Every structure is written in C-alpha cells, then in structure tokens.
Structure 1
C-alpha cells in the first residue's frame, strides 16, 4: 500500500475564529471580496472593526455560480485597488471567484473572452505569481477553503469550467461556524448535502487512502447527524457547529481524491436548469452507493461500523432517509420540468475526469441506471 497526503492550507476552526483574521493578514493590505448580502447584514462593519486600515478595498458583487461575465466585472472592480492579499468571505462561489482572481491577476484582460481563454487553459498561474487568499466560508458545504479547485460558469454556452490547480489552494482557511447561524433553511440543506456528497464520493473513490477515508468518515459522522437536526430546528447551534466541521473535513478529503460521478451528473442540471448544486449532486447517492457496495473491499463495512450501523445496507437506508427528510424531490421539482428532462442530459453528465474516479469502472449505461434508479422514488414528484 502506497499513498501520500499533502494540503498546504493553514486551518483554524472554532466559534469566533473569524476574529483572528488580523493576525493572518499581518502587515499586508487586503482586498475584501464578498456579496451584497454579507454587506447588508452588517458583516462588513464587523470586518472593518477588526482589520481597520488594513482593508485596501471592498468588492461585494459576487453572485451565486459566477460566470465569465461576473469575473470580468470582478476583475475590473479589483484593479482600482492596491492590495497584497485577498480576503474572501462568503460561500463557495465567493471563495472560488477569489481564487481565480488571485491566480489570474495580470494574466487576463477585463473581458469575458480573455477570461474564457484563461480558464480554458487551466487557469495557469501568471509569471508574477498569485495573490494569496484568506478564505472565510459562511456556508457549510463546499469545502472550497481547503481545496485547489474552483468552478466558474459560462452561462451563454451552458458550460462549466472546473479548474484543478495547486496554485488555487488558499493560504489560510478561517472556519467559524457562527457565520452560518443565520443561514436560511434552503441554503443550509443544499450546502449540507454537498458536504455529504463529497464525503461519500471520497470514500468510493479509486484514489481513496486510509487518510482520506478516515477524514471522510469523520465528516459523515457529523453531517448525517447534524443535517436532519437542522431540518427540524434551524437554530440548533450545536448541529451548525458539527455541519461546519463536516464541510471542512469533506473538503480536506476531496482535496486529495477529487469528486466522482455524482458531481459529474450534477453539472448539466445546474447549467441548464439552475438546480442548486447540493440537490444536483446528492439525489443519485443511494443508487451509486448500492452499486459500489457490490464491490466492497472492506471500506464500506468499516464505514458502517464507524457510523454505528449493523451492516452496509443500513448506509443506503440512512442516505434515503436523509434525502427524504430534506424533501429533495419536492425541491428538485421547483427547477426541473420532468424526469425526461433529466435523462435527456445523459451525454453531458459523463465527465471522464469525474466518472473515472469511481472505485469500479462505469460507463454511460451505468450512469443511465443511476438516473433511472434515483428517479424511481421521486418520478411522480417530477411530473
């Protein structure tokens, strides 16, 4: 057995960890990147109290699932400031946009076309190096604060740029569960399901190692308990803390393994219908788990035991129950017109870079099986 693990991100986790940001910025000037929602909720006022004149400027126009048009505007807005480090405070979209901005400063113009070329080339870091990023997540789900990945969309082409580049690792991740306490129910559920999906996909991954399986298992021990509690009581702070820990750990796991077929299936559903990522990447999980259980090499038996289950079949039951409690098909129905619309995107759903990460080889027919199996229980809700 041979494996390696390397993640260069310095992580600090805990309630009120957010207040430690000044020591990580140090003597540098910071560009703050966030959303209008964060500013409207008074978050910027708190940040200004902590950082004071270390803030060189603020850009707060990042939207969910940023596309090349958004990145062009972000680049133009950022160029008016002289800064040394980027402080990204927000969900995965904010952190992804900040990572791409940091890697691309000086490498592109301020047009969608030049940004599209930069992303098509894998977002290679410019010769002058990158602007380091201090990532502060305000959602519990993407794990972007500890990964070398970023997602930018091209809505005009219904296309997604999924960038995997070691230069995109943030310098520091400050993970403060308190920043999620006011997160609405839908965002809590969708981002939480993303964390669940990442952890499972790290376990049934051909690149899995003892380290990533252990990290992903701990993630699931938190998320599978915390997410149902938050469905029933969105104010449960202990569950918020555990879901934030689950998200961080899932991010650490996929930073090594990458995601798999569930994420591959999700991309066109988000691109064509705007289906929130957490819903898109989680509805197939039970079917994929059942398939991979047929080839268990011991990892699922170990997972079941660690989670207090009597057998591996209970993992499937647990997943189905979670999706039911989160009312996933009712939520999908708000975006997708029919189950036929889902199946029609099959060819776009098979992304080799993701599909080939599955522990057992899969092809188009198996992906179609995953879709049909997943839609059985919710097909009526999709009509």
Structure 2
C-alpha cells in the first residue's frame, strides 16, 4: 500500500523571514492577531513598518487557551469592523494562531454563537465566508502554523470544541527563529515539549506512514538533544533555529496523522487542573510509551530507532529527560489519585484523539 502525505501550507523558514510578509500581502488589507506582550517587544511596530497602511485592524489581547468568554467579543468586533480585510496574520504561540483560525471562519449572521452551534454538531460544514490566514509562530512547539486545527475552550462548561475546515489551513507559514529569542524559559520548555509530544504521538498512531515517521524521528532527535541545552542558554541562535525546525517537522508529521492518547489526556488536565498545554500533553509520555510498546511491530521498530530495544530503559530515558526540564511525570504529582488517573485514561481512550492511539482498541477491550 502506498503512503500519502498532504500539506497545502506554503512554508517559509529562516532567520528574519518575517520580512516576507510585505511581499506575501501586497495589495491586501490585513488584520493582525497577536499576544499582549507583542507591543512591548516591538513586534507590532515592526509589522506596521512592513505593511504600512495595509494593516487596518489589530487584536493584541489574546490570552492562553482561547476561551469562548473572550472569543465571542473579539469575533463579533472583528466581523463588524474588519469584514473587508482579505488576510489575517497571526503572530504568536498556539493561542494566537488558534484565535485567528476562529476569527477567519465567518458565519452568516456574524455572531459567534452561530459558529459554536455548528461546532457542537461535530459535523463538517462549509462556512458562509472565510478569510486567508498567515501564521508566524513566536514559539517552537505549536505546529498550528502547518495544521488546520484550532481548539476552543469553554472553561465555564468544562468542555472544548475542535475547529478544522479546509479554509483553516494557513495559506502561508513563516517560521522565523528570530521571533523566538525572547521566549522565557518556562514557555520554551512547555512549547518544546508540545512539539516532542506531536512527534511521538504521530508515531504511536494508527495513521502513521513512512513520511510522517521520517519527519517525527528527525524532530525527536533534535528535541532530545537541543531542548535541555536551550533551557540553559536561551539566547543561543543556533539552538533556537534547530528547535524551530524540529517543531516544524513535528507539526508536519502530525498534520497528517493527528495526535493521539497523550493529547487526549491533556485536555482534561488543562480544563480541570489548569496545566499548561505543553506540560499537560508531555508529562504522560513515559506512561503512554509503555502502553504503545508491543502493540504493533512496525511502530515498535520506529520507536526503537530512538529509544533502543528495552522498554524500561526507554521509559526511564524519557522520564529523566522530562525531570531535567523540571517536569513531573506522575499523575500523583498533580494531585490525581490512581483511580482518577485510570478513569481519565479510559475516558481519553474514547476521545477522537485517543482512538488514533495504536493501543486503544486492545486496551479498551
């Protein structure tokens, strides 16, 4: 059987590649979606200089884990005041890019609740209108710049929505490691571990193929080597570039496989326990590695190219790697009992991402 790999995103990578915004958006009205610290870092002024009067609308108050409470106002203001924009540029981490993906999907009424109602059905739909998205990540980890998915959180109702349409694939991704130089240590670690999870999740995945494996293996090797070094030397341009490329490779890998069990576990860890996404989806990686091991010979061979042939040593290697980055790896470390953890894992297995895990059917039987 042949392998199929598809990714429609025009991807630009390199130091100072943000300057390409000017040529990419020529003759277009542009809206910018970014995070609160962007102005203080000079990012908004820099983009304004690149685009001039083409930049007609700015949202600069994006918060982590986009929640319906904030998105509703931003969405409706956007469609009231920037409906004539051709392109939305997201500059920031996964939250900024996910927010932009939500904004570009227009409803007939321009009301956010109409979009939520469509998402709640869980069925595909064709939006009434849609804008073009350019994504420029400022962290090495999200992968959102080369995938169509956005997660919308509803903390009040303790649920989440997943948005993914053909039009939510970014038109262009600009991966400029220079934008990542000022990312603090905790965020560098959390987002880097998100990328590690993306890569591993694409391997222990029913949708894995030789192309996604090649990207994932290369990403894992780089992250295991680079992330601890970068944690100690945050201004190192070479390490920033290598991590940016590793995160891109991980993003490309899971753009074709989707994520699996560790991410499915992470959603409840974020909703109920407030864990940052990168930590929520990575703390369980040693456990999930053990659940994946022995389920599929081809997947075992791929994992063993990184970790060797001994499962316990492989789990110890991954656990020690996380501990060096000051990440705790047991459910009990987060105040969760063994029974609660078992129930959480069982529930995660039943989720859409959990069903991508190679061991889900055997473990649920």
Alignment of 1:124-143 (within 5 A): 124-128=125-129, 130-143=130-143
1:289-325 residue CA offsets vs partner (Å, 9 max, x unmatched): 12322234234434543x4x65454543331121111
The reply on whether 1:275 has 2:281 as its aligned counterpart is no
Q: 1:88 is paired with a residue of what secondary structure?
A: strand
The reply on whether 1:89 has 2:91 as its aligned counterpart is yes
Q: 1:40 is paired with a residue of what secondary structure?
A: coil
Q: 1:27 is paired with a residue of what secondary structure?
A: coil
Distance 1:284 1:183 in 2: 24
Whether the 8 Å contact between 1:301 and 1:312 is mirrored in structure 2 is no
Alignment gaps of 5+ in structure 1: 367-383
The reply on whether 1:329 has 2:331 as its aligned counterpart is no
Alignment of 1:137-286 (within 5 A): 137-286=137-286
1:98 alignment counterpart: 100
Alignment of 1:329-348 (within 5 A): 329=328, 336-339=334-337, 342=341, 345-346=344-345, 348=347
1:332 is displaced (CA, Å) by 8.6
Whether the 8 Å contact between 1:61 and 1:74 is mirrored in structure 2 is no
Distance 2:303 2:268 in 1: 30
Distance 1:302 1:344, change over 3 A: closer
Distance 1:267 1:250 in 2: 19
Distance 1:327 1:94, change over 3 A: same
1:55 is displaced (CA, Å) by 0.6
1:353 alignment counterpart: 352
TM-score by length of 2: 0.91
The reply on whether 1:107 has 2:114 as its aligned counterpart is no
Distance 1:350 1:291 in 2: 11
Q: 1:107 is paired with a residue of what secondary structure?
A: coil
Whether the 8 Å contact between 1:7 and 1:255 is mirrored in structure 2 is yes
Distance 1:89 1:64 in 2: 14
1:36-78 residue CA offsets vs partner (Å, 9 max, x unmatched): 1112222101111111111111111211101112211111331
Q: 1:96 is paired with a residue of what secondary structure?
A: helix
Distance 1:66 1:226 in 2: 29
1:35 is displaced (CA, Å) by 1.5
1:29 is displaced (CA, Å) by 0.7
1:374 alignment counterpart: none
Moved more, 264-273 or 315-324: 315-324
Distance 1:108 1:144, change over 3 A: farther
1:44 alignment counterpart: 44
Moved more, 250-259 or 158-167: 158-167
The reply on whether 1:319 has 2:321 as its aligned counterpart is no
The reply on whether 1:291 has 2:291 as its aligned counterpart is yes
1:378 alignment counterpart: none
Distance 1:45 1:5, change over 3 A: same
Alignment gaps of 5+ in structure 2: none
Whether the 8 Å contact between 2:213 and 2:302 is mirrored in structure 1 is no
Whether the 8 Å contact between 2:323 and 2:329 is mirrored in structure 1 is no
1:159 is displaced (CA, Å) by 0.5
TM-score by length of 1: 0.87
Q: 1:211 is paired with a residue of what secondary structure?
A: helix
Distance 1:106 1:158 in 2: 24
The CA RMSD over aligned residues, in Å, is: 2.4
1:330 is displaced (CA, Å) by 8.8
Whether the 8 Å contact between 2:331 and 2:337 is mirrored in structure 1 is no
1:97 is displaced (CA, Å) by 1.1
Whether the 8 Å contact between 1:231 and 1:325 is mirrored in structure 2 is no
Whether the 8 Å contact between 2:319 and 2:329 is mirrored in structure 1 is no
Distance 1:210 1:231, change over 3 A: same
